[in-house]
Amino acid sequence: APKKLLILPGDGIGPEIMNEVRRIMDWMAQARGIRFDVSDDLVGGASLAVHGQPITQEVIDAARAADAVLFGSVGDPKWASAGFDRRPEIAILKLRQELGLFANLRPAKVFDSLADASTLKPDVVRGLDIMIVRETVGGIYFGNPRGIETLPDGTRRGINTEVYTTPEIERVARVAFELARKRDNRVCSVEKCNVMESGLLWKEVVTDLHAREYPDVQLTHMLADNCAMQLVRNPRQFDVIVTGNLFGDLLSDLASMLTGSLGMLPSATLGAKGEDGRMPALYEPIHGSAPDIAGQGKANPLAQILSFAMLLRYSFDMQEDAALIEQAVSNVLDRGLRTPDIMSAGRTEVNTAGMGAAVVEELARL
């Protein structure tokens, strides 16, 4: 039976960049006879508008039943002041939690032909290839107690709780060690063990797991503040970084920006393999919904296309097809095609559809 793929385009530029992935799927069907069982649904502001909530139980169930979820992006200024429980972001937080998507894989990779796009000196970022593994269902995002309370004297108190347990730390560290073995075999574990006990436990658990199961991988530890500095000072020192939810949020965005081209970067969020061998997984570009340019054909579809390639690689074990798409993207860039976000002097500007078409053309040629 064909693999079940749930597509959630979301808000803003989500739908239009997702169309370019559909174009690639069409090509795969025609040229290579590969078919998926695709269904489509609403999330984020798009779901709020129809259902009054950022994600419905049906969509969560459909995501659970799918072999993989391809997500666009959520966020719509219309809902900016909709209140804490009706934010479009709830869609992604709920999917992470309900499907147990605990490991967010965020590659920060510089394409040779885009090394100049970075605000960092080309010498510092050329060849950059970091993988950040961020824990995504624990930590301060989900810990209790949480909320805002009013004390008898009228003072208000906002509270959130950072909690990590041994198994939560182990499973995400395991993902990092496994990835490192297929890369440069180095993991840097990041926390604030000098001020936070949750970070102290994090460090101990990663150290123990390393000694027990991954002694062949090189493990180092770094404080989160120092890591923020080192990513700017000399980002190429890193191979795989593993860290908690909150630090991962900041550090992965920082690392992305080092590449200078957010429109290029995919991500995967993976859960645990079930007894049936299936692994829940969601793939999405790291950029947002960019409402300011939505519907204008200006959006760069490459992060969404590369998210689809990651999906083929990690969820469907279609290494060859994934590599083919990545190669096609790289070639298109080498040929000088650029959407407005990565345009520079002497290159050829194309729109969203033009970029998608160019990737398909390139695929046909490879």
**Closer residue to a copy of itself in complex, CB, 23/94:** 94
* 225 carries an active-site annotation: yes
**Closer residue to a copy of itself in complex, CB, 163/364:** 163
* Residue 93 binds ligand IPM (CB under 6 A): yes
Element (H, E) at 352: helix 352-365
Shortest distance in whole angstroms from residue 85 CB to ligand IPM: 13
Cis, bond preceding 145 (omega within 30 deg of 0): yes
Q: Which residue has the tokens 């990690």?
A: 314
| Six token digits for residue 146 | 């949480």
Residues annotated within the binding site for Mg(2+) are 225, 249, 253
* Residue 197 binds ligand IPM (CB under 6 A): no
Options 26, 61, 225, 292; binder of ligand IPM; rule CB under 6 A: 225
**Catalytic: which of 192, 203, 283, 314?**
192
* 116 carries an active-site annotation: no
* 37 carries an active-site annotation: no
3-state secondary structure 313-325: HHCCCCHHHHHHH
* 253 carries an active-site annotation: yes
Partner whose binding site includes residue 34, from ligand IPM, a copy of itself, none (CB under 5 to 8 Å by kind): none
Cβ(38)–Cβ(70) under 8 Å? no
* Residue 57 binds a copy of itself (CB under 8 A): no
**Closer residue to ligand IPM in complex, CB, 285/301:** 285
* 214 carries an active-site annotation: no
**Angle, nearest 10°, between helix axes 319-334 and 14-32?**
120
Cβ(21)–Cβ(57) under 8 Å? no
Residues annotated within the binding site for substrate are 96, 106, 134, 225
Q: Restricting to residues 256-275, which ones interact with a copy of itself according to CB under 8 A?
A: 256-258, 262
Question: Quick one: 3 exposed, middle or buried, by C-beta within 10 A (0-12, 13-18, 19+)?
Answer: middle
| Six token digits for residue 199 | 């970070």
Q: How many CB atoms lie within 10 A of CB 122?
A: 12
Which are the catalytic amino acids?
A: 141, 192, 225, 249, 253
Residues near ligand IPM (CB under 6 A) are 89, 92-93, 194-195, 225, 249
